[in-house]
């Protein structure tokens, strides 16, 4: 184990410290903000799920920063519970910002949301401090976000009562080939990036023409993707809220959250599981069409609490550990290696091949939840080897481990949560050579 890895807590803290953004809004000196941006100079605004990841990591490293970032997120919440996927606190607007902001309802923030991890963020604060008063003060705001999504993002006339995202940015998995078909993108043609830029802007244009009204958006039937990651994190978020309400002895609220989680989990497994392929696939449109592209998102239902064990085993042994699909030298590739749409090139289309630390974090959690401790340890080891080789990068080449995208990328510090919360032991064990030898023995 290198000195770099031995000092990983210090190095992660230094990156998070470096990426701090704080101050007062230009139009209101009373609006104080504090958040950690993904990376400087590439990504200086505040993104919803990025902040949730940073909150989770800092719950181990700096609880003061955790609370300040969490409270800044809640300042963005609208009365109906909606939270924007990004906020322009500092006003340093890029060219792409200029292009997209004209479609939003407000210049200061987006009108779309993002993969819901706010309950995970609040739970990480409780896990660290066991401070029920802090939870009591903030839990209803978090609950309002989940209730907003539950109420507005399920189409009342759709027999598949799962949540729809209305823009690819809402999943956070920008440019994934799973969205090619819903957006009429032909990956076999040249100028793929140009196709994607046009599609992203067209999505915003349609939403704007619908006045950002979900009833009109459902009627328009444009895109409407029932995303695996969005729905799975939403379901497990309700479970975390239920646990927090139980700690507050608010049992009726806990029961409501559990019932909704169970309801959606049952639907998701029934509708998204493809027995023939042995994978999960999201659906799109009011017709619930399927685009069967093997991506790392097909493995995400491992995080579901009540996923049947036979399905979990199929995901792990037939796909995750399949060296032709997801078990690359530096897993997990965002698209299966044997998919025609897989690309390991630095093209600006970020989710069509490279490995990402946050996806590994989700999958490690799921593996441990369903008893695949050995595989979870192997994936954790390879994840730390990525950091050891290439630092805290935005994403990585799945075969060489080469750093790709932005450097000093904040959410890649999720390895701290893998170390401290998911395994609760030091890195000597993860990197132990004897353990590495044993786990490769036949039948282990």
Q: Which two tokens stand for residue 40?
A: 């400087």
In a domain, 181, yes or no: yes
φ, ψ for residue 34 (rounded to 5)? -150, 120
Same domain? For 255 and 302 the reply is no
Same domain? For 359 and 302 the reply is yes
Distance in angstroms (rounded) separating the CA atoms of residues 299 and 319: 8
Same domain? For 384 and 251 the reply is no
Distance in angstroms (rounded) separating the CA atoms of residues 211 and 104: 9
Sequential pLDDT tens for the chain (444 residues): 677 788 999 999 999 999 999 998 866 656 899 999 999 999 999 999 999 999 999 999 999 999 999 999 999 999 999 999 999 998 778 888 989 999 999 999 999 999 999 999 999 999 999 999 999 999 999 999 999 999 999 999 999 999 999 999 999 999 999 999 999 999 888 889 999 999 999 999 999 999 999 999 999 999 999 999 999 999 999 999 999 999 999 999 999 999 999 999 999 999 999 999 999 999 999 999 999 999 999 999 999 999 999 999 999 999 999 999 999 999 999 999 999 999 999 888 999 999 999 999 999 999 999 999 999 999 999 999 999 999 999 999 999 999 999 999 999 999 999 999 877 655 666 666 445 545 555 454
Same domain? For 322 and 287 the reply is no
Three-state DSSP class for residue 321: coil
Question: What are the start-end ranges of the H helices in 62-171?
Answer: 63-75, 95-101, 118-129, 132-152
Distance in angstroms (rounded) separating the CA atoms of residues 440 and 437: 5
Same domain? For 393 and 441 the reply is yes
Same domain? For 303 and 443 the reply is yes
Domain edge (last residue) among 244, 275, 292: 292
Into how many domains does the chain fold? 2
């Amino acid at each position: 184990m290198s000195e770099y890895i031995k000092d990983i807590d210090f190095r992660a803290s230094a990156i998070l410290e470096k990426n701090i953004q704080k101050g007062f809004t230009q139009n209101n000196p009373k609006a104080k903000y504090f958040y950690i941006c993904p990376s400087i100079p590439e990504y200086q605004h505040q993104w919803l799920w990025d902040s949730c990841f940073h909150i989770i990591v800092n719950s181990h490293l700096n609880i003061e920063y955790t609370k300040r970032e969490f409270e800044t997120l809640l300042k963005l919440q609208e009365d109906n519970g909606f939270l924007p996927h990004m906020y322009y606190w500092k006003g340093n607007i890029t060219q792409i910002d200029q292009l997209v902001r004209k479609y939003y309802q407000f210049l200061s923030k987006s009108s779309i949301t993002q993969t819901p991890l706010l309950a995970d963020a609040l739970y990480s604060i409780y896990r660290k401090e066991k401070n029920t008063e802090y939870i009591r003060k903030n839990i209803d705001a978090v609950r309002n976000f989940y209730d907003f999504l539950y109420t507005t993002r399920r189409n009342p006339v759709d027999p598949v009562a799962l949540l729809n995202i209305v823009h690819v940015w809402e999943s956070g998995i920008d440019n994934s080939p799973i969205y090619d078909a819903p957006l009429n993108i032909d990956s076999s043609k040249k100028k793929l990036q140009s196709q994607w830029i046009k599609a992203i802007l067209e999505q915003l244009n349609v939403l704007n023409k619908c006045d950002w009204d979900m009833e009109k958006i459902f009627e328009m039937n444009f895109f409407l993707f029932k995303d695996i990651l969005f729905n799975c994190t939403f379901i497990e978020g309700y479970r975390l809220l239920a646990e927090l309400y139980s700690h507050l002895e608010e049992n009726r609220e806990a029961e409501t959250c559990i019932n909704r989680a169970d309801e959606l989990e049952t639907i998701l497994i029934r509708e998204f599981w493809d027995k023939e392929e042995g994978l999960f696939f999201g659906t799109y449109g009011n017709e619930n069409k399927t685009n069967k592209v093997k991506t790392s998102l097909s493995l995400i239902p491992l995080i579901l609490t009540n996923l049947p064990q036979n399905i979990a085993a199929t995901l792990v042994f037939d796909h995750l550990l399949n060296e032709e699909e997801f078990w690359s030298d530096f897993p997990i590739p965002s698209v299966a290696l044997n998919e025609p749409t897989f690309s390991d090139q630095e093209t600006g289309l970020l989710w069509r091949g490279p490995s990402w630390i946050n996806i590994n974090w989700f999958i490690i959690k799921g593996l441990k939840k369903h008893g695949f401790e050995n595989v979870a340890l192997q994936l954790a080891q390879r994840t730390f080897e990525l950091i050891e080789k290439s630092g805290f990068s935005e994403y990585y080449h799945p075969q060489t481990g080469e750093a790709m995208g932005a450097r000093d990328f904040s959410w890649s510090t999720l390895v701290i949560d893998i170390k401290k919360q998911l395994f609760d032991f030091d890195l000597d064990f993860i990197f132990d050579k004897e353990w590495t030898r044993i786990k490769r023995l036949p039948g282990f």
